[in-house]
Amino acid sequence: MFKGKFQFNTEFLTNLVKPKTPPLIGVDISSSSVKMVELSGTGKGAYRLERYTIESLPHEAVVDGNIMNLEQVGDAVLRCWKRLGTRIKTLAMAVPSAAVITKKIVLDAGQTEDEMEGQVEAEANQYIPFALEEVDLDFQVLGPDPENPEQVEVMLAAARKEKVEDRVAVAETVGLKTVVMDIDSFAAQNALELMTAELPDAGRDQTIALVDIGASIMNVNVLLNNQSVYMREQPFGGLQLTQEIMRTFGLSMEEADAAKRNGNLPENYQSDVLGPFMDTLALEVVRALQFFFTSTAYSQVDHLYLSGGTASIPDLAEVVAERTQVNTLIANPFAGMELPGRIKQGQLLVDAPSLLVSCGLALRRFDA
């Protein structure tokens, strides 16, 4: 994988070529909220969660990863940053995977970066259905080609410039500066490595599925030895639970959202709404794994992590594990981190599954 080194639009990245990377806030703008995470290092590859915060977004301010209302999103980013209580104004952000074209290619080893850049641009013309001047293009050397030691595997990625520029503009309008632009799925993988380190043999040679349940899209990323071997999106998410609450109890979307967060719902919510939703979600995960098995040479998944705000539903891991017959865990990249007293551990357990991308982005501060 990219190990968090992927970045778009290098004109914003001059600070990162210095020996010491500046402090960064990891900022994830999703369809439902803005999430911010600040980490510090405690030595020997260990980290401390300094602070985090989550700010809800107005409905349809962001749709399918596209910023539809820059002013509303900017206001939410500013509120989130103020609540965070930090002085750091430099950000690491991410564009949604659906907005990025990625392709693994093979190039001759031993080239200079400039030579490789020229070849990557030439290769990109074959895979990108846009003019190169319309995209931000970057690449990352993954390592030697297993079939030819004289060549290297390279991942190229291209995003439409407006997708990058929208996020940069949101930060700039409120006095913040984006210095890293990653891809959300790669940022999540970066945070996932913190968790897989706790598995038997640190997850080595084990197939690990990360299932991120967003508001309307479920993203499935299957990895082996920190390399993605399969990715898929399915149209399913937490918004379906909100809509079912609206329908069953006659609430508006805002009322249903608030009731869902606060647990202020009638007694039959569990049996009539939440239980059936969890069963449907588990079946969607089963379906995603079946697609994985039928479209690849793999026949099993050893561990499954659930992330996204929906993953914090109590007992969801058990329901998914029963349906999939796979060891299922709720994503918490902060489990092994030192925590300051101001962070409430109970609330962090609820919030952690939705903070995977922002945590992975915050880890960019520690890039070598």
Query: What CATH number does the domain containing 180 carry?
Result: 3.30.420.40
pLDDT of residue 21: 62
pLDDT of residue 91: 96
Whether the model clears a pTM of 0.85, i.e. scores above it, the answer is: yes
Q: In terms of residues, how long is the chain? A: 368
180 and 273 together in one domain: no
Q: Determine the residue type at 143.
A: G
Residue 163: how many CA atoms within 13 Å on its side-chain side?
24
Alpha carbons 328 and 303: distance in angstroms, whole number: 6
Backbone phi and psi for residue 65, each to the nearest 5 degrees, phi listed first? 85, -5
Q: Once rounded to an integer, what is the mean pLDDT over residues 317-335? A: 97
324 and 227 together in one domain: yes
Identify whether the C-beta of residue 278 lies closer than 8 Å to the C-beta of residue 262: no
Structural domain containing residue 205: 199-334
The alpha carbon torsion through 291, 296, 300, 304 (nearest 10 deg) reads: -60
Q: Report the chain's mean pLDDT, rounded to a whole number.
A: 89
Domain count, the chain: 2
Q: Tokens 């380190």 appear where?
A: 197
236 and 311 together in one domain: yes
List pLDDT tens digits, range 176-228: 999 999 999 989 999 999 999 999 999 999 999 999 999 889 999 999 998 88
221 and 84 together in one domain: no
176 and 246 together in one domain: no
List pLDDT tens digits, range 123-155: 888 888 878 888 888 888 888 888 888 899 888
Residue 322 placed within a domain: yes
pLDDT of residue 368: 58
The alpha carbon torsion through 120, 126, 127, 132 (nearest 10 deg) reads: 70
Max mean pLDDT range (41-45, 93-97, 123-127, 138-142): 93-97
213 and 303 together in one domain: yes
Identify whether the C-beta of residue 205 lies closer than 8 Å to the C-beta of residue 190: no
306 and 322 together in one domain: yes
35 and 92 together in one domain: yes
Banded pLDDT at 160 (limits 50, 70, 90): confident
